[in-house]
Structure 1
Amino acid sequence: MKIFLFILIFFFFSFLNASDSDFIIQGKVRHINTHEEISDVNIYVKDFPIGTTSDNNGRFKLVIPAKRNDFIIVFDHIAYDTMQVSLEEAISQSDFYLKPNLLQTNKIIVEAKKARSEFAKDLPQSLTIITAKEFEGKGYIDVGDLLRVDQSIVIEEDLSGKKTISMRGGNAEDVVVFYNGVKMNNNYDNVFDLSLINIEDIEQIEVIKGSNTALFGSDAFSGVINIIPKLKQNYTARFIQKFGSYNSGDWNFQANHDIFKNLHVSYNQKRSGSRRPYDEEDSYLENSTTHHSANMVYNLSKEGSKNISAMYMRSKLDYFNSNIFSRIDDLNQLGSISYAGNIGNFDRFKISLSYQNLNTRRSFILDKQFYDRHYYNDNYFFNLEKTFFSGSHSFLTAYQYENGKLDYKEESTFVRTLEAAQLSREKHGVVGVLKLPVATGSEYLNYADINLSYRYDYVKNQQRDMLFRTSLTETNFYPGLFKENSWQESTLKISIQLKGRSSQAAYTFFMGVGNNAKFPTMFHQLSMPSLLNPLRPEVVPDLNPEKNYGTDLGFELMLETPKQKKIEGFQLNLNYFKNIYKNKFRSFLTPATGIAVFDNVPDADITGIEAKIRPIFLQGKLSLEAGATRLFVSEKAAFPFKSETKYTIQLFFDYSGFSTKVYWFNESSQVGWVRSSNGGFGEIEFPGFTNMDFHLSKKLEIYKLNYTLSFSIRNIINDQHILEGIALRDRRFYIGLGVEY
């Protein structure tokens, strides 16, 4: 008993001595305006080898062996001003607030450690990265709702809620959408519905504008959207509930957990729906969507450079229009597994295998007539990448394989031609990207990059089991269905990037030129070639790839103005581009029969100028962003209903956990040439419009729970423009509540 008492007293005094000698400082590092937690902050004692790093939740714990009053605690992060506090100040605080450094807030640098942009491996060009912190809790409904704030992007929304994206005056099929590196555009018409992506499950969105991408495949004539899902969150569980106009509402649940030290899993589920009445009628539109996603990451190395990841996503859209008894059922599923790391003695490999399934059905009944179209699309993808380094030079090579199948069925009392067909597509792509940094030796022009890329694609299409309702099976009517189609194209691109920096400014200039190719879709193969128009004999149907020759010039300036009391700094972006198209497809439905028809314009072009400026006030609390785009479109039948000018103004205010955003935009009239019953074209003009959005959110932390309250108003200028009895631009309200643990 005495021995036990002696041991207890010994450990008690040992604990007291350890408490006196080892001093602990702990807390959270936050953004001074938004109060968001900041990870990867280096916290250390000045002039002493004592330090630590904040985790994903901004938390840190700094153990100091002995307390000294002259100790200075330093908080250092590449994107924020370095902060120094005395030991006494650090003891009395639990939250430490850092001010952003304007010249280092380029998102490519800031987010590099968390989710390095895949576009960094490609040629330099106009790039925007939108991180989750910029849209979480802001009341956005989906990805299309978020992206429309860009001055070069137009989001088209139909009555079913389907949202497609176009950029720089191009069409929706000219933009390629990736999710976790997997192409989402279907094989039918090369279009993807952005409403099928759950915005609450996104880590960041990368937007590249222009046709000079090589690594992300052909078909991207206008640009690429790469959506990166959240593979690892900084919370255990989160629940979000939103309510809004038209009896709309959605709830979202997310959970993630570290099962073992190196194994992380997460799951996300979302359900949403709405019911909209027709104008002065008893009819209605009803939408419902369901999202599921699951992710797994297993790190094979401590720094995470060697890992295995797997992902599954399932999205279902149901739409019903009681006015014409129209239904839409979309089911989109995606699964992928990837490995990054070494293979034997060879390092810097990336291998991924993916499967995508899109099951779509469209039907309606009107005046005892009916139409029912169903296509089932399976896609398999394989991607292999290897990067070689020689000093500062790098060469990336990749092999990309795609195998897709389309099962098409159509029943209709309107159209009496093709009823069913099965098509398959096999595609092989080889890519090489060479990057050659060159030292300039200049004080203000720090370095230059010369970049070259080459891509080769081979596409083979096959058809079988065609079924026609009539005897119109001649090759003149459906040439794409009666022979094996194969195409091959090579593309070459070059870009030069110059970067400079001074004590108060950072600036970048790039120039890119090159060619691109886009292969005919299965929709084109299921379409009939148009009859020759005597007024335009040069327009001849041609089932061969489109060609694009693009030029891009860009300039970016980030400037700090410490001598100006009102303006802390600003960011300026200027871009000029020109895209020349050869053999441009024009697709349309004949007015009377609804038969899909195509022809090709031998020459078309789009020229544009983009500008954006963002001054920053009040130590980053207030910022204003103004953007403008001017387009010059030569062929309005190939690029119908595009606004040639778009102006945007965004006002951001962040203070003490409050986040406010006001968005104003103006789009000019949209003009399109539409096929008439006599085979010619008639001009139709949609009037331009102006509107505003407002978003307000507040973040609270109570005990171990983080709360987010949000309020949004869409279309403040109540535009009662009616399309088929439905107001598409009317005012809408949304309220949201989120809880994190």
Structure 2
Amino acid sequence: MGLNKNNIAIFFLTFFTALGFSQEIPTPQDTTKVEHLEEVIISATRTHRQLSSLPLPAHLVSKKEIQRVNSLRLGDILNEQTGLITVPDFGGGEGIQLQGLDSQYTLILIDGVPLIGRSAGTLDVSRITVGNIKQIEIVKGASSSLYGSEALGGVINIITEHPKYGFNGNIYSRIGTFETYDTGANIGYKKNKLAVNAFLNNFRSDGYDLNESDITNTVEAYKSYTLNTKLDYDFTENTSLFVSGRYYTQQQDYVASEELKGESEIDEWNTHLKLSHTYSDKWSSYFEFYATRYKADEFLNNPDASRFSESDFNQLLVRPEIRGIYNPSKKSAFIGGLGWNVETLTRTDFAASPKFNTPYAYLQYDYNPTDKLNVILGARFDSHSEYDSQFSPKAALRYKLSEKLAVKGSVGYGFKAPDFRQLYFDFSNATVGYTILGYNAVITKLPEMQAEGQIANVLVPLTDFENDLNPENSIGINIGADYNPLSSLKLNLNVFRNNIDDLIDTRVIANKTNGQNVFTYYNVHEVYTQGLEINAHYKVSNQLKLSAGYQLLYAKDKAAEKAFDNGEIYARKTPSSSAFQLGKSDYFGLYNRSRHMGNIKVFYDLPQWDLDANIRGTYRSKYGLYDTNGNDYLDTYDDFVDGYAIWDFAINKTILQNYRLGFGIDNLFGFTDTQNISNIAGRIIYGKLNIHF
């Protein structure tokens, strides 16, 4: 369903007319002095830093914004941030694309420790509830100097709530379209040395169907539960203990056809322990132990209830780390750490049960030689049992030209290690007949297939697999400026470029006797993403706040650019027409990337009515998902998914201080694309009740 411009105009006219009339209602003047606290971010440097003084491109999403927009899952929030968009994968999960980089290049953390469970490179952000989130920290640019693998493009850290003094909490429930129910409770207690917190969430939906011509739904019915507990205990003023545990489970219908039906189940847990001690005004340290397991099982049954297929995925990560912070003066600080990642995976269609061992060390220096200049230098070394060691440096600086203008820039090395699938996969499709082998499995499995008479021709010699598969690596550059021409207006500009080498792709290494091929993974491509991001925040009054963001993106393969430039690529407008030569300007770029993305948000408060309202819009320009003219590249003559806009509206009313009612419409104008976009369900109408105590 497309957008109706008349409906948009009428809605905005009504909305802003209501705002205009509300301005006439006299508001009592608050004579209380308010102290505005600077936003503090942890993820960018692993220390507490004021966001406004940071030399890196970073953004915070506050608890207040999360509550006001009435979002359900992490992806709902991330989609409204500049330069971020959730992209559905083939399994129904949603990964986050950042600065044009795939979801496998962005590290997702909860309270500073990583989530696992990337079955096909994508970590599904829809499994993360926002009910107990204090703030979301988004750091863009290569961050492997602190976090190692998977932080090639950036880091998203979800900081969960800590209890306030005394006994307190809240209970909430949201009911919406598609029989969607989200119910949760967050309870905390804090007194003297002890603080405890417990959070429970239940999320379920009947799913939805964008294409009624087949038996399957776009998203099948599912239900999930999240349990998160925390404990803080101060032994002394200088020594404290933090312990947390998280458990997530999801059950979903699994329907492949009218005959084949089954279920899928996810079980995930993690435990996090941190003991901290302050030795003096200059020295402090932390010992941290983290363990997490992600398990996914699914099966399909025949109509007679016999088993047609089943698969499992069982990943375990254990990580101890010790960290130290040294502040030789008020102008400088060192942070360093030593740790060890031990990771195992048991999975269907694997040639082995692999185990990764990765000891690592990192060091960072944060220096303010003057009040105007901040410099950060850092590096990390990762040793790995299955690929070459990685050294990841990073440098960043910020210079304050005046009280209103500051410039900043950063350059860093990021890497993404080959995952278990790319190294150990051993899968043959029973229906079509093709085979996919992990890089490390080729040297043993291909000779076995030859001996069994399955191989007709070997296209790549086994000697090509004697060396290790290299990690994907990138040099990320970000240059920007912060400009505050007025106390009520903030402008941010960031220009970025990510050069990625040794990109891992698939290739055919042998032909099978059944006419199909054998594929494996290899290092081949050099790609880049580059562009700019602009953010603006304007406080019109104490009641009305506006913000807007825009990203321009170019994401291209260097080899493809060269082929187009050399006139080697041809296309046909129709299958029966003659082929014609394409030029460099005809190359659009990588798949599933939009040239333009933008967002706008309007937040309005009516304190005399204890009411707030907001409307948010996001825009994505056209993008290509497939090569439709047969030349293996995305060019201007291919078919594209049309650009679209999504508008969300929410209004909230507080009653008797502790009761908060919410109503909203997500995807206000009911946009859907049944052919290409599976994670936009259509118009969603909901109501929400939140009780504080």
Normalising by the residue count of structure 1, what TM-score does the alignment of the two structures yield? 0.71
1:554 aligns with 2:480: yes
Residue 25 of structure 1 aligns with which residue? Answer: none
For CA contacts below 8 A with separation 6 or more, give which structure has more relative contact order: 2
Residue 499 of structure 1 aligns with which residue? Answer: 400
Residue 210 of structure 1 aligns with which residue? Answer: 141
Residue 497 of structure 2 aligns with which residue? Answer: 578
Considering only aligned residues, what root-mean-square deviation do their CA atoms show, in Å? 3.8
Residue 671 of structure 2 aligns with which residue? Answer: 719
Deviations 1:155-198 (A, max 9, x none): 12358763211100001100001111111133755542222222
Partner Cα separation in structure 1 for residue 663 and residue 507 of structure 2: 41
Cα deviation for residue 388 of structure 1 reads: 1.4
Q: Which amino acid aligns with 1:553?
A: I
Residue 407 of structure 1 aligns with which residue? Answer: 346
Cα deviation for residue 319 of structure 1 reads: 1.6
Cα deviation for residue 516 of structure 1 reads: 2.3
Partner Cα separation in structure 1 for residue 508 and residue 627 of structure 2: 10
Residue 395 of structure 1 aligns with which residue? Answer: 334
Whether the aligned pair in 1 keeps the contact of 2:144 and 2:413 (CA below 8 Å) is: no
Among the aligned pairs, what percent are the same residue? 16
Cα deviation for residue 377 of structure 1 reads: 0.5
1:450 aligns with 2:375: yes
Whether the aligned pair in 1 keeps the contact of 2:273 and 2:288 (CA below 8 Å) is: yes
Whether the aligned pair in 1 keeps the contact of 2:142 and 2:414 (CA below 8 Å) is: yes
Aligned CA distance change for structure 1 residues 340 and 551 (closer, same or farther; 3 Å) = same
Pairing 1:417-428 to 2, within 5 Å after superposition:
421-428=352-359
Whether the aligned pair in 2 keeps the contact of 1:321 and 1:327 (CA below 8 Å) is: yes
Cα deviation for residue 428 of structure 1 reads: 1.2
Whether the aligned pair in 1 keeps the contact of 2:342 and 2:355 (CA below 8 Å) is: yes
Aligned CA distance change for structure 1 residues 191 and 306 (closer, same or farther; 3 Å) = farther
1:658 aligns with 2:606: no
Residue 89 of structure 1 aligns with which residue? Answer: none
Cα deviation for residue 327 of structure 1 reads: 3.3
Aligned CA distance change for structure 1 residues 141 and 491 (closer, same or farther; 3 Å) = same
Aligned CA distance change for structure 1 residues 107 and 213 (closer, same or farther; 3 Å) = farther
Cα deviation for residue 143 of structure 1 reads: 0.8
Mark the runs of 5 or more structure 2 residues left unpaired by the alignment.
Answer: 1-27, 426-436, 443-456, 561-588
Cα deviation for residue 453 of structure 1 reads: 0.9
Partner Cα separation in structure 2 for residue 366 and residue 719 of structure 1: 36
Cα deviation for residue 256 of structure 1 reads: 1.4
Cα deviation for residue 587 of structure 1 reads: 5.1
Partner Cα separation in structure 1 for residue 323 and residue 598 of structure 2: 40
Report the secondary structure of 1:487's partner residue.
coil
Deviations 1:356-384 (A, max 9, x none): 00001244468999443211011101121
Whether the aligned pair in 1 keeps the contact of 2:148 and 2:415 (CA below 8 Å) is: no
Moved more, 620-629 or 425-434: 620-629
Partner Cα separation in structure 2 for residue 188 and residue 123 of structure 1: 34
Cα deviation for residue 146 of structure 1 reads: 0.7
Residue 365 of structure 2 aligns with which residue? Answer: 434
Aligned CA distance change for structure 1 residues 673 and 726 (closer, same or farther; 3 Å) = closer
Residue 150 of structure 1 aligns with which residue? Answer: 81
1:221 aligns with 2:174: no
Whether the aligned pair in 2 keeps the contact of 1:541 and 1:600 (CA below 8 Å) is: no
Count of residue pairs the alignment pairs up: 585
Moved more, 226-235 or 135-144: 226-235
Partner Cα separation in structure 2 for residue 107 and residue 192 of structure 1: 28
Pairing 1:602-641 to 2, within 5 Å after superposition:
602-618=525-541, 620-635=542-557, 639-641=590-592
Residue 600 of structure 2 aligns with which residue? Answer: 649
Cα deviation for residue 139 of structure 1 reads: 1.6
Aligned CA distance change for structure 1 residues 394 and 276 (closer, same or farther; 3 Å) = closer
Whether the aligned pair in 2 keeps the contact of 1:123 and 1:452 (CA below 8 Å) is: no
Partner Cα separation in structure 2 for residue 288 and residue 189 of structure 1: 22
Aligned CA distance change for structure 1 residues 633 and 727 (closer, same or farther; 3 Å) = closer
Aligned CA distance change for structure 1 residues 310 and 96 (closer, same or farther; 3 Å) = farther
Report the secondary structure of 1:426's partner residue.
strand
Whichever of the two has the greater Rg, that structure is 1
Residue 684 of structure 2 aligns with which residue? Answer: 732
Pairing 1:664-679 to 2, within 5 Å after superposition:
664-672=617-625
Deviations 1:70-107 (A, max 9, x none): xxxxxxxxxxxxxxxxxxxxxxx9x9675878xx5652
Partner Cα separation in structure 2 for residue 533 and residue 311 of structure 1: 52
Cα deviation for residue 277 of structure 1 reads: 4.8
Mark the runs of 5 or more structure 1 residues left unpaired by the alignment.
Answer: 1-92, 411-417, 440-445, 461-484, 562-568
Q: Which amino acid aligns with 2:490?
A: Q
Q: Which amino acid aligns with 1:647?
A: G
Residue 182 of structure 2 aligns with which residue? Answer: 250
Report the secondary structure of 1:438's partner residue.
coil
Aligned CA distance change for structure 1 residues 606 and 614 (closer, same or farther; 3 Å) = same
Partner Cα separation in structure 2 for residue 188 and residue 157 of structure 1: 14
Deviations 1:696-740 (A, max 9, x none): 3434252xx611111121112222311499783411112110111
Whether the aligned pair in 2 keeps the contact of 1:231 and 1:296 (CA below 8 Å) is: no
Cα deviation for residue 321 of structure 1 reads: 4.0
1:372 aligns with 2:291: no
Partner Cα separation in structure 1 for residue 628 and residue 357 of structure 2: 33
Whether the aligned pair in 2 keeps the contact of 1:693 and 1:712 (CA below 8 Å) is: no
Whether the aligned pair in 2 keeps the contact of 1:202 and 1:227 (CA below 8 Å) is: yes
Partner Cα separation in structure 1 for residue 508 and residue 297 of structure 2: 18
Cα deviation for residue 632 of structure 1 reads: 1.1
Which of residues 270, 279, 284 in structure 2 aligns to 1:334? Answer: 270
Report which of the two has the higher share of strand: 1
Whether the aligned pair in 1 keeps the contact of 2:116 and 2:294 (CA below 8 Å) is: no
Aligned CA distance change for structure 1 residues 389 and 681 (closer, same or farther; 3 Å) = same
Whether the aligned pair in 2 keeps the contact of 1:189 and 1:522 (CA below 8 Å) is: no
Whether the aligned pair in 1 keeps the contact of 2:502 and 2:525 (CA below 8 Å) is: yes
Partner Cα separation in structure 2 for residue 366 and residue 685 of structure 1: 38
Deviations 1:433-489 (A, max 9, x none): 0122112xxxxxx420222112111011xxxxxxxxxxxxxxxxxxxxxxxx33201
Residue 13 of structure 2 aligns with which residue? Answer: none
Partner Cα separation in structure 2 for residue 597 and residue 97 of structure 1: 69
Normalising by the residue count of structure 2, what TM-score does the alignment of the two structures yield? 0.76
Report the secondary structure of 1:641's partner residue.
coil
Report the secondary structure of 1:185's partner residue.
coil
Deviations 1:521-546 (A, max 9, x none): 11111343699999xxx9x9971112
Aligned CA distance change for structure 1 residues 682 and 643 (closer, same or farther; 3 Å) = closer
